[in-house]
Structure formats: structure tokens, C-alpha cells
Amino acid sequence: MKDILTQKLSYLNQTVLECVGISDEKVIVKKFVEATNKILEADYGYSWFREASDPDFRWLYKSKSTPYTPQQPRKNGVMAKTFNSKQPILIGDVFRAGFVRDDARENMKSVTVIPVTYKKNNYGTLVICYLLKKKFTDNDKNLARFIGNSAAQAITISRLYRSIQESKKNLEKRVKERTAELHTANQELEQDRAEDEAILTSIGDGIIAVDKNFNIILANPQAELIFQQSAGQLKGKNIFDVGKLFYENGTEVSQTERPTFLALQNGRRVESDKNKPVYFKKNDGTNVPIALTATPIILNGETVGAVQVTRDITQDREMDKAKSELISLVSHELRTPLSGINWYVEALVKEEIGKLKPEQKKYLNEVQRANHKLIDLVYDFLNVSRIELGTFNIKLSNVNIKEITEEILEELKPNIKNKKLKISKHIPLHLPQFRIDRKVIRLVLQNIITNSVKYTPSRGKISISLKLKKTSSSQNILYITVADNGAGIPKTEQGNIFTKLYRATNVKILDPNGTGLGLYIVKSFVELSGGKIWFKSREHKGTTFYIALPIEIKKETIKI
């Protein structure tokens, strides 16, 4: 007896082992049905499985010798009972038991229903049938339970195996996908790098990248050309040792003034000052004018280096000069015929050539007025062109500001007289001699005073004051204040008065001929000179303009 049982158990173990590595559950079930038939010496068997979430059993396998087609088990049939109780049910005489279905009863005399279950896992049942009646013992029941457990273990292993296989497959799939992604990214990166390199090599400006210690990490061919060293030589060197830069007067540009230093220190883009050209001295002694732009390299909020773009502006400067000369020429050419008209009409209007009829005089006055407007426009055109082409150059010279003020007032004399305006001047008796750009100071004073004269009604007051203020040992500021009690600027329009071509609504009525360029030019000139302009104004009360201009003071004092 014991030997047979041992044989049976070893056969069962064998079956479990055979199932390892099989992922198809049906194959495992088939093996177990056949093995159980053998072990329990049954005539045929079949198996139903059920998922915990599913109320219905699903058909898995029946042995070939099964004489009929088993029907879907009933909700409270033997199968369901076995499944729910996880206990084998052994029926020695199905006829007497009464709860086996008729179709089954005709094809079997006794039956063992084995739950395929192990620990938490409950998979279904094995139904093992006999054509004869049987007398089952407790041993049969234990064996049945054991077979069920073994089958369940095999299924569990199989499912585990399957899920491992699947994860492996998924993993492989994901690895493949990621590899493909990586490949694409690499390709893009390489393409980008090739493009970057193409741009870097073909670009007309010298590009040098430095780390945060100002050591060069990259240089393009144009940088090699400008600084006359190969990229290999440049790499690793401190940028300040490679390209020493000088101002026009020969003094060296200190490290702390250089855009690359400032960009790294302040973490923002810095450009070299267009009005203060810098030069790089080549090996052959020639000076190359250059413009520098430095941009910080910021990684995760930290400045880790900077890129210095160096541009050889030799050609730009020649172009600027040519443009500037052209504008100067054009404005000269335009002014000559305008002066002709002006003078001929003047002689006519003053009846120096002959008496005029009142109508003729009126018409000629209109010609003269239009001509003056054209002359003004040519001036404005010249100035706007200078501002917009950037060909405006500050040229300091000794300037007698009192004389300039008098000159301007002299030009405006007819208007001042007509309107009986009261002009008061507050100019210090002793002004140190100072240097300032003549055209800037003249244009500023002329525009601001002319506006006051134009927009102040009869018997109005205009006050002009000049003041010098020392801000530091080398820095001095000239303050110009021009105040009037004229038309004023409407509050809503005060933000626009420095805008090009803008004219306030009230002044358009007072003087329909203005161009709207005057204050735009004044502001640009003042700011290009490093100065500031602002104003206070109330409509119908008056306007005060304040201008602050940096000046250079000479040591000796002169009396003006």
C-alpha cells in the first residue's frame, strides 16, 4: 500500500516538475487531469477553472475518453461547492447523492471533485469520474486534496513564470524603445552639434567662451583670426591675457571695465560702449577697432561662464563714416537752394526790389513761412538720421554757454518782442571753463527755449537758469532749467511728448507747423551724451524743463 502511495506521490511530483516552465495553463491542466486519472485509477476527467472576479467557470480540458460534453456548472452545484469550500467532494454513488446533474449521472457512477487550490490561490476544479460505484476513504480524500494543492502550485508557478516572462518582454520592449529614443536623441544632438559647429565656424564674429575663472574653453575660427592665435593656443588661457584692449587714447581697458568681466559678475548681457571705441593691437602693430558683447552662461540659476562675441568693426566704421558724410552732404545740398529762396523772398517782402500789393506781400510771407519749415525739417532730418544711424559722435570742446544762450535769444528776438515776453536769465557770473559737445548744448537750449517762446502767451514769463554741480572729483553736472508760464502739457499726454512725431493736442492748435521731432531729438541727444531730461507741467499754468548734462571741467576759471 505504502509503496503504491509513494509511487503515486512521486508521479505527482514528477508532473509538478514537468509543468515548470510551461506558460500555457491549458497544457498544465491537461497534464494534471491525465495524471490524476492515472493516480486515482479513474475512467475520465475534466476541469473547470474560475477567476475570483468571475461568477462563471470556464472550460479548460476534458480527457479524450470523456463520453459526453459537460454543461456549464450550476451556481450551487457540486463544482461551486467544491470551489467555495476549497474541500474535495467524493461521491461514491452519484445516483444516491442526487445532486449530480442528469447528463452527468448517465455517464458516471461515482465522482471525485477536487479543488485546485493552494493557500490564497483558488483556481478551479478537477472532476475525476468513474464508470463504477466506489467506496471512498479518508485517504482518497487526502490524496485528492494533495493533488489539488499540487495542481494549484503548478498553476501558481506557471502564472508567476508567465508574469516574469511578460515583464521580461515588457522590459525588453522598453529597453528597445529607450534605445531607439536614445538613438534619435543622439542623432538630433549630433545634428545640432554639427549645425552649431557650422554656425560657429562660419560666423563672421569672433566667439570665445570662458569658464567662471575667465579661462577660454572654446574659440571659433574668426576669434583665431582676430586674436592671431589658434583655438588650441587660446584654450585654457585667461581671456584677459589673450586680447589686451586699448581705448582711442592708448590707455588699456582694465579688466573690470570689460564686458566679459561685467557679464560674469552681474549675470546679464553687456555690450561695449559705442561712443568709446576699443582697439586690439595686432602683432604687426595695427589697431583693429572692435565691438564686444558678452553674455553670461547660466546653468540652473548659476553663472558658470560667459560668451564673448568680438566683432571687427573696421568696415562698420567706414560705412558709418560714409553714411554720415552722405547725410551731411544731402542736408547741405538741400539747404543751399532753401537759403536761396529765403533770401530772394526776403528781399521781395521787404520791398527792396519794388513796391508790392498787399496780396502779393501776403503770399510771399506764406512762401517764406513754408520755406522756414522746410529748413527746420532738413535740420531735424539730419539729427534724426544721426540718432538712428548711430553716427552721432560726442565731441567735447570749450563752449561759452552764455554766448550760445544769447545767440538763441537773439534769433528769437522778433517773437519775444511781438509777444512782450519777459525773459529772466540766471547764469552765474563766474563759470569755470568746461568742455561739452557744442551741437548738443546748442540744440537742447534752442529747442527748449524756442518751445517756451512759442507756447507762452503775450506778456508771459520765461526763466532760464544754468547751474554747475560737482558730484565727484572728476564728475560735474551742468543743470539747465527753462521755466515758463505758458500753455503747459495736458496731463494725459505727458508720457508721450518725447515720442518721435508726437505733438500734444494743445500745441497743435497754437502752432500747426511743428514737426514733433524737436523733443525726441533733444532727449536722444541728451541721453547719448550721458545726461537726463525731465519736466514738470500743468496745463494753462506752465512747464519747467530740467536738463542735466555731464561736463568736463578745466582747472582755470574764466570770467564770461
Give the residues lining the site for other proteins (CB under 8 A): 328, 331-332, 335-336, 338-340, 342-344, 346-347, 350, 352, 375, 378-379, 382, 395, 397, 410-411, 437-439
Smaller CB separation from other proteins, 99 or 343: 343
Residue 336 Cβ, how far from other proteins at the closest point, in Å?
5
**CA–CA separation, 217 vs 211, rounded Å?**
7
Smaller CB separation from other proteins, 174 or 395: 395
Closest C-alpha among 43, 32, 45, 143 to residue 88: 143
Smaller CB separation from other proteins, 81 or 323: 323
Q: Which helix (H) or strand (E) holds 435?
A: strand 430-437
Residue 375 Cβ, how far from other proteins at the closest point, in Å?
5
Residue 555 Cβ, how far from other proteins at the closest point, in Å?
22
Residue 349 Cβ, how far from other proteins at the closest point, in Å?
10
- Could you list the beta-strand ranges (E) of 21-104: 44-49, 58-62, 89-91
Contact 463, 533 (CB under 8 A): no
* Helix (H/G/I), strand (E/B), else coil: 537: strand
Closest C-alpha among 49, 39, 45, 19 to residue 31: 19
Residue 353 Cβ, how far from other proteins at the closest point, in Å?
9
Smaller CB separation from other proteins, 105 or 439: 439
* Helix (H/G/I), strand (E/B), else coil: 334: helix
Smaller CB separation from other proteins, 71 or 398: 398
Residue 205 Cβ, how far from other proteins at the closest point, in Å?
31
- 504, 509, 511, 512: CA torsion to nearest 10: 90
* Helix (H/G/I), strand (E/B), else coil: 82: helix
- Helices marked H in 412-460 — which ranges? 413-419, 438-455
**CA–CA separation, 477 vs 375, rounded Å?**
33
Residue 307 Cβ, how far from other proteins at the closest point, in Å?
38
Smaller CB separation from other proteins, 29 or 382: 382
Smaller CB separation from other proteins, 310 or 446: 446
**CA–CA separation, 452 vs 446, rounded Å?**
10
